[in-house]
Amino acid sequence: MTEVTGSWASGLQGEAGHVALADWQELQRRSRRENIGRAWYKFSRNPLSVAGLVIVLTIVLLAVLAPYVTPYPHHAGPFTDFANAKLPPNPRYLFGTDTIGRDILTRVIFGFQDALLMGIVVLALVVPPGVLLGLVAGYNQGTWIDTVIMRITDIFLAVPPLILALAIASVLKPNLMNSMMAVSLMWWPWYTRLVYGLTSQLRNEYFVKSAETLGASKAHILFREILPNCVSPIFTKMSLDMGWVILIGSALSFVGLGVQPPKPGLGTMVADGARYLPDQWWIPVFPALGIVVIVLGFNLLGDGLRDLLAAEEV
Amino acid sequence: MAWSPSEMTLGDQATLFKELAMRLVTFILRRALHSIFVLLGLSVVIFGISRILPGDPARMAVGARAPQWVVDNLRAQMHLDEPLFVQYGYWLADAVQGKFGISLVTRREVAEDIKEFFPATLELALFAGILMGGFGILLGTISAQHKDRWIDNVVRVLSYLGVVTPAFVFAIIFMLVFGYWLKWLPTIGRLSEGLTRPPVITGLMTVDALLAGDLVVFWDALKHLILPAVALAMGGLAQEARITRATMSDNLTKDYIAAERALGIPERVIMGKYLLKPSLIPTVSILGLDFAGTLSSAFLVELIFNWPGISRYGINAMLRKDLNAIAAVILVLGVVFIVVNIIVDIVVAYLDPRIRLSAERSE
């Protein structure tokens, strides 16, 4: 007998074909661990993806720990210190201070909180219905169900999301919650369209056909056969979209329809600060760079995931 | 029928040409039909938005102090007492004729306002579109030709940054650097004080100035145009460069390019003719989307540069809940967006014969 090497094979030694259940589970666990290890290795070979991951993790950590890591946590609220107002960046205030003396570094870090919250809430609201509609429409391709769902997405995709989101947010009360609702209403069609394309291909695959032949229920086919094969592109798109949703959110708060003062919203800070150009340039520029860094981080991460998961469809 | 031109008689060629032309026409017609449907759907959404607002639109139009009978009259006039779908019918009939009612902010016909402000935005978007297409394709081509050399790497890093940076951040940084620090370009409005605007013919200030033969005004208007237009164009420009580079470097490895090289066709001709045309197809599709996207980024950029366009008008309307104006602005932008998409589809169909043909075959 040739010597079997490799950890996966060790479970096969002894009585071949009569692997005990416990061994089998151990084997599965081990192969899963190895897959993760291999994926991480592949991911870590690309410095840009790693940079994206580092940026995202840093921002998340900063946002979560904002009250502990910022130099002046109380500056996140309605605090005033006119003696130290409009100071340019200096060792005490690395990003300078705003017109009423609040530390901009502190406010940018606190601004990450609502930005991330916006991204998470919108994606949580948007992905389930978007994916579900895409699955249903794609599986029933060519029927009236497909027509109705996809024509409706066409309508929402006919106008850039920012314009309709602005309009919806403007008729509601201006606050973070409503701006999330407005963006969510605009965002689901992208997932529907993505999953629709995937599903309409997958429904002709043999494993779907065989499940149909075996009499599997529609729910089983959609959620257990098709959906698992759509997960990679959906994940990749979510990572990329985190950046874009945050961007739209900051655009809404830029015009005053998102995060409300005195809470620090990145877009609000840019908009307010733009009035103090060029003399107090640091007031808008650092929050603006904050937005760029978030979008950059999620995009690098998303591109890395796309390569890793081979999700070219996104 | 013989499909190779050399085997065809003249009559065959004429029928083939007629057939292709017919296909293009049916393609365009189907596309237009679909767009009309989308537009109708959009109008339902817009009508919905304008009715989300709690409260009585008639009361809001006349103000809190107006007597009740005025409100009642207005309610009847605005058909507010009828069921929603009847209201929608009236609203749509008016909207199709360009009647959007009175703006609460400017106290003028909304259509008048749109007519005044839209050309300014169009001028901005067109200029940005030209920059996006021109420089994006140029940079992408350079990048693809020097693949994996330093110039390619520089273009790639810059275009990545360009894609992830929102237009309003570019606007603020350009304003600061080129407007205030270097003082190369003006930062506010469309024309310097003291200059008279040329007679309105197209509404595009630069074109009007040229038509009037006023070079001083033209130069000044152009200088005002550059910063906001470049800020708007940056994202799309970077996107175009990335797409062009990707398709071109992909196509460069194709057999037909090797064959052309082997035949001794000059590199210049290969690049400019045989490689560029098929490589532009994805770029053109994205360019259309990006051009339309400038109309949405314009909402913030116009605000920053105080550009008197439809987006700034729209934002003001939104902040004051001026429903007639909001509905009109979105509908106008929606129409522009859809028209641009049709044009893009036609251009792509022209560039890519496969799309023309398959659109037909699928029937």
B299 interaction partners in chain A (CB closer than 8 Å): 162-163, 166, 251, 255
Query: Same structural domain for residues A32 and A86?
Result: no
Contact A291 B42 (CB under 8 A): no
Contact B334 A159 (CB under 8 A): yes
SS3 of A73, please?
helix
Determine contact, residues A266/A253, Cβ cutoff 8 Å.
yes
Summarize pLDDT for B170-211 with one digit per residue, the tens. 999 998 888 888 888 888 888 787 777 788 778 788 888 888
Q: Does pTM surpass 0.90?
A: no
B165 interaction partners in chain A (CB closer than 8 Å): 292, 295
Query: Same structural domain for residues A254 and A271?
Result: yes
For chain B, the helix, strand and coil percentages under 3-state DSSP, each to the nearest 5: 75, 0, 20
Q: What is the DSSP letter of B363?
A: -
- Please choose, from the candidates A306, A270, A264, the residue with its C-alpha nearest in 3D space to the C-alpha of residue A288: A270
Query: Same structural domain for residues A104 and A136?
Result: yes
pLDDT of residue B55: 64
Looking at the DSSP bridge assignments, the partners of residue A97 are: A103
The whole-angstrom distance between A24's CA and the closest CA on chain B is 45
Cβ partners under 8 Å of residue A275, min gap 6: none
The whole-angstrom distance between A124's CA and the closest CA on chain B is 22
Domain that residue A102 falls in = 49-313
Domain count, chain A: 2
SS3 of A103, please?
strand
Between A170, A270, A295, which is nearest B319 by CB? Answer: A170
Taking residues A2-30, what's their average pLDDT? 63
Query: Same structural domain for residues A89 and A230?
Result: yes
Q: What confidence category does residue A2 fall into, taking pLDDT thresholds of 50, 70 and 90?
A: very low
Query: Same structural domain for residues A126 and A213?
Result: yes
Q: Considering chain B, what percentage of its residues have pLDDT values greater than 90?
A: 12
The per-residue pLDDT of chain A, averaged, comes to 86
Mutate which of A178, A240, A255 to disrupt the B interface (most B C-beta within 10 Å)? A255
The per-residue pLDDT of chain B, averaged, comes to 83
Say if residue A312's pLDDT is above 80: no
A272 interaction partners in chain B (CB closer than 8 Å): none
Q: How many CB atoms lie within 10 A of CB B229?
A: 26
Q: What is the ipTM of this complex?
A: 0.81
Query: Same structural domain for residues A186 and A272?
Result: yes
The whole-angstrom distance between A8's CA and the closest CA on chain B is 39
Taking residues A159-182, what's their average pLDDT? 86
SS3 of B346, please?
helix
Query: Same structural domain for residues A176 and A57?
Result: yes
Q: How is chain B split into domains, by residue range? A: 122-311+334-361
Q: What is the CATH number of the domain that holds A194?
A: 1.10.3720.10
A31-45, A113-127, B199-213, B348-362: which has the minimum mean pLDDT? B348-362
Query: Which range has highest mean pLDDT (A231-235, B57-61, B351-355)?
Result: A231-235
A277 in contact with chain B, both atoms CB, cutoff 8 A: yes
Q: Which two tokens stand for residue A58?
A: 């840093």
Summarize pLDDT for B301-335 with one digit per residue, the tens. 998 888 888 988 988 888 887 888 888 888 888 88
Determine contact, residues A118/A176, Cβ cutoff 8 Å.
yes
Query: Same structural domain for residues A20 and A92?
Result: no
pLDDT of residue A10: 47
Query: Same structural domain for residues A212 and A282?
Result: yes
A281 in contact with chain B, both atoms CB, cutoff 8 A: yes
Tell me the DSSP string of B128-185: HHHHHHHHHHHHHHHHHHTTTSHHHHHHHHHHHHHHHS-HHHHHHHHIIIIIIIS--S
Query: Same structural domain for residues A109 and A234?
Result: yes
Taking residues B153-175, what's their average pLDDT? 90
Query: Same structural domain for residues A14 and A144?
Result: no
Summarize pLDDT for A261-283 with one digit per residue, the tens. 788 888 888 888 888 878 888 88
A22-31, B37-46, B70-79, B124-133: which has the minimum mean pLDDT? B70-79
Say if residue A161's pLDDT is above 90: no
The whole-angstrom distance between A189's CA and the closest CA on chain B is 14
The whole-angstrom distance between B161's CA and the closest CA on chain A is 7
CB-count burial class (<10 Å; 0-12, 13-18, 19+) for A68:
exposed
Query: Same structural domain for residues A82 and A151?
Result: yes
pLDDT of residue B237: 93
Residue range B122-311+334-361 forms a domain whose CATH class is mainly alpha
Q: Which two tokens stand for residue A87?
A: 């100071």
B326 interaction partners in chain A (CB closer than 8 Å): 167, 170-171
Q: What confidence category does residue B1 fall into, taking pLDDT thresholds of 50, 70 and 90?
A: very low
Summarize pLDDT for B69-114 with one digit per residue, the tens. 888 887 777 777 778 888 888 888 888 888 888 887 788 888 888 8
